[in-house]
Amino acid sequence: MEAIEVTDLRKSYGDTRAVDGVTFTVRAGETFGIIGHNGAGKTTTVECLIGLRRADAGTVRVLGEDPARRRRALAHRLGVQLQDSSLPERIKVAEALRMFGAFYRDASDWRRVMERWGLRPLARKAFGDLSGGQRQRLMLALALVGNPEMVVLDELTTGLDPIARRETWRLIGDLKAAGTTVVLVSHYFDEIEALCDRVAVLARGRVAATGTTGELVARTGTASLEEAYLALEGADR
């Protein structure tokens, strides 16, 4: 079964075509990377996937649902980590996890999620007092507290130190092993290479290529995902 099917997705803001005919599919249980520079259409694509935006044209199916019409039903099965979103300054870590847990029909025990993500020592700390890395870790834990079938992570490890980054990779590995579908939006090539089964390269609102890292490297005759990306990005210009 396909977890995500996007066909010819288009979205403009005024005269700017943010997404201009994007098509890709993600299989259930797959870890799928979306890579591209700023303004390539990554965030708009993600926002259409999770039902925050309605596409101008094209079809989007996520876990068999149309996110624009069935956002709330889908939200029970979806975990989301948004780029630079935040929480009220004075809310404490444990309170945030407990509150988010109460939003979902089939939530995990929030205490266990707190434990698993190493947030226990921070339980009584206010969001406003957390470091960038700690915030990121909390936002990830909040994406998972609803026990989702699929997670969409935008800029997964931005702001994390190298150790926290590796730790996050390990936890994403656990999710994969548990069969959760993961969509990872990133501009870190090492992260995509380490975690993703397949990648879509976005450039100027279109998909320049889709495939495994190996396929993209072979197709472009380059030596790494980064070089393959630059070749695809340039070829599309």
Partner 1 sequence: MKAFTALTAAELRLLSRDPASLFFMVAFPLMLLVLKRGDGGAVPGYLAMIAAIGGMGALPGLLASYRERKVLKRLATTPISPILLLGAQLVSQVAAGLAGSALLVVVTVAVFGARAPGDVLMLTAAFLLCSVMACALGFVIAAVVRNTRGASLIGMLVMFPMIFLSGAAVPRKALPGSLRQIGDFLPLTPAVEALGGAWSGTAVPFPLLILAGIIVAATATGAALFRWE
Q: Which of 95, 193, 197, 215 touches partner 1 (CB under 8 A)?
A: 95
Q: 3-state class of 184 per DSSP?
A: strand
When asked if residue 124 is in the footprint of partner 1 (CB under 8 A), the reply is no
Give the amino acid at 158: T
Q: 3-state class of 13 per DSSP?
A: strand
When asked if residue 50 is in the footprint of partner 1 (CB under 8 A), the reply is yes
When asked if residue 13 is in the footprint of partner 1 (CB under 8 A), the reply is no
When asked if residue 130 is in the footprint of partner 1 (CB under 8 A), the reply is no
Q: Which of 33, 36, 133, 146 touches partner 1 (CB under 8 A)?
A: 146
When asked if residue 88 is in the footprint of partner 1 (CB under 8 A), the reply is yes
Instruction: Report the DSSP beta bridge partners of residue 184.
Output: 33, 153
Q: Which of 13, 64, 69, 86 touches partner 1 (CB under 8 A)?
A: 86
Task: Name, in order, each residue with C-beta under 8 angstroms of 10's C-beta and a sequence gap of 6 or more.
Answer: 17, 19, 20, 21, 22, 55, 56, 57, 58
The 10 Å Cβ neighbour count of residue 153 is 25
Output 147 or 224, the one with its CB closest to partner 1.
Answer: 147
Q: How far is the CB of 227 from partner 1 (least distance, A)?
A: 35
Q: Which of 2, 28, 52, 158 touches partner 1 (CB under 8 A)?
A: 52
Q: How far is the CB of 106 from partner 1 (least distance, A)?
A: 10
Is 237 exposed, middle or buried, given 0-12, 13-18 or 19+ CB atoms closer than 10 A? exposed
- Estimate the crossing angle of helix 213-220 against helix 225-235, to 10 degrees: 60
Q: Which of 82, 94, 130, 171 touches partner 1 (CB under 8 A)?
A: 82
